[in-house]
Chain A
Amino acid sequence: MDRPPPRLPVFLNLAAIRFPIGAIASIAHRVAGVLLFIALPIVALLLDASLRSEAGFAAVRDLLSSPFRVVTAALLSWALVHHVLAGVRHLLMDVGVGSELARARTSARLVLVAAPALALLLLVWGLT
């Protein structure tokens, strides 16, 4: 493929670009995915500990024992809920449901708002 002559400047200052709502939902989907990837090995280790011994099981059950852990759990709850909701949105759009621009905008906004709300619910349920 032809390459442009070398050393021409390129404007790509992301802060100067006005991103539509779909792009924001999408980058959040990506960030959430990375967070969940980072959490995955930890979850595997927790699963192992919970099955290994009585004490391990108790430790996993009482996981949310410090403020730091609660904040981490809140973040991961958001990541999970957002990733699932945004994922469902994409699966539907794949088969043409809501892939028209106005509807896609609405569903993107919906996902962005619903995810933190549901995550909070999830966290409260986890704390009780």
Chain B
Amino acid sequence: MKLSIYRYDPETGDPPRMQAYDVQPEAGDKKLLDLLMRLRVQDDSLSFRRSCREGVCGSDAMNINGRNGLACLTALDGLKEPIVLRPLPGFPVIRDLIVDMTQFFAHYHSIQPWLINDQPLPERERLQSPTERERLDGLYECILCACCSAFCPSYWWNPDKFIGPSGLLQAYRFIADSRDTATAERLDFLDDVYRLYRCRTIMNCTEVCPKGLSPSHAIERIRLALLRRSS
């Protein structure tokens, strides 16, 4: 199969270029990552992140034929050739398909992604009813791969100020949690022209989420929660 891959080597300092590859998939090669692993045997200078190879670690996110996705979940069947691979759009490129996620994780940390509860600790665990637990479905599954934020134009234009779809989905995951008592503070933090309100609901995030989650829906719920609070 033919591929065209974005190459950048910080040691030479040469501008990025596209490099053509041709690699034969072998029996059992189903996903794009399988092909990339074969490629690495052919050219060991080619750099990309990968770990679990089954859509849980979120490290092999990249731009595949113009859309963000995980190489390990992208089926080779139906991919148009040459398969064009580029690093996540809008993220600083460290080498080839490896991007700098520093800012992305800084946004994640900014929403305080942990349970805040000022009540005294119960003797055993804090219980949730099945209904309360269900509210976290579609939120807790996020693997922080950055496919969504790197496909969001609002995040491209203001990557330092807009929290981005991934961080906002995580923010809503804690707002929606019945065990968390910091909802008011969380909403205060989000009520900002940049942090939340850069979203224009174009739904690029939901389009590319490899876990089938809907950050745009979480953002919609945050805006409604803010509206309910101030009315």
Does B203 lie within 8 Å of A11, measured CB to CB? no
CA–CA, A17 and B86, complex, Å: 10
Interface string of A10-22 (1 = CB under 8 A from B): 1110001111101
**A23 CB-CB contact with B under 8 Å:** yes
Does B220 lie within 8 Å of A18, measured CB to CB? no
A-B contact pairs, 30 of them (CB 8 A): A1-B106, A5-B100, A8-B100, A10-B89, A11-B88, A12-B89, A12-B156, A16-B66, A16-B84, A16-B86, A17-B63, A17-B67, A17-B151, A18-B67, A20-B203, A22-B202, A22-B204, A23-B153, A25-B202, A90-B201, A94-B224, A96-B220, A99-B216, A99-B217, A100-B214, A100-B217, A101-B203, A101-B206, A101-B214, A104-B203
Does B16 lie within 8 Å of A22, measured CB to CB? no
CB-CB under 8 A from B93, the residues of chain A are: 8-11
Q: Return A102 CB to nearest CB of chain B, in Å.
A: 10
6 A-B pairs closest in CB distance: A18-B66, A8-B92, A26-B202, A4-B92, A20-B207, A22-B203
B16 to chain A: closest residue by CB: A9
What number of A residues sit within 8 Å (CB to CB) of B?
A: 28
Among A10, A16, A26, A93, which residue has its beta carbon within 8 angstroms of that of B92?
A: A10
Interface string of A26-56 (1 = CB under 8 A from B): 1000000000000000000000000000000
CA–CA, A3 and B100, complex, Å: 10
Q: Return B48 CB to nearest CB of chain A, in Å.
A: 14
Not counting A12-B89, A17-B89, a sample of 15 additional A-B residue pairs whose C-beta atoms are within 8 angstroms of each other reads A3-B103, A4-B92, A10-B92, A11-B16, A11-B87, A12-B156, A17-B66, A20-B203, A20-B207, A23-B153, A23-B204, A26-B202, A96-B224, A101-B206, A101-B214
Does A23 lie within 8 Å of B84, measured CB to CB? no
CB-CB under 8 A from B214, the residues of chain A are: 100-101
**B197 CB-CB contact with A under 8 Å:** no
A101 to chain B: closest residue by CB: B206
> Range of interface residues on chain B?
35 or more
CB-CB under 8 A from B223, the residues of chain A are: 94
**B229 CB-CB contact with A under 8 Å:** no
Interface string of B80-121 (1 = CB under 8 A from A): 000010111111111000001011001000000000000000
CA–CA, A93 and B206, complex, Å: 14
Does B89 lie within 8 Å of A2, measured CB to CB? no
Does B66 lie within 8 Å of A4, measured CB to CB? no
Q: Return A53 CB to nearest CB of chain B, in Å.
A: 43
Does B103 lie within 8 Å of A12, measured CB to CB? no
**A124 CB-CB contact with B under 8 Å:** no
Does A23 lie within 8 Å of B202, measured CB to CB? yes
B100 to chain A: closest residue by CB: A4
Q: Return A88 CB to nearest CB of chain B, in Å.
A: 13
Q: Return B55 CB to nearest CB of chain A, in Å.
A: 19
Does A9 lie within 8 Å of B102, measured CB to CB? no
CB-CB under 8 A from A20, the residues of chain B are: 202-204, 207
Does B91 lie within 8 Å of A10, measured CB to CB? yes
Q: Return B91 CB to nearest CB of chain A, in Å.
A: 7
Among A8, A94, A101, which residue has its beta carbon within 8 angstroms of that of B220?
A: A94
Q: Return B153 CB to nearest CB of chain A, in Å.
A: 7
Does B103 lie within 8 Å of A4, measured CB to CB? yes
User: In B4-59, which residues have CB < 8 Å from any A CB?
Assistant: 6, 8, 10, 15-16
CB-CB under 8 A from A11, the residues of chain B are: 6, 16, 63, 86-91, 93
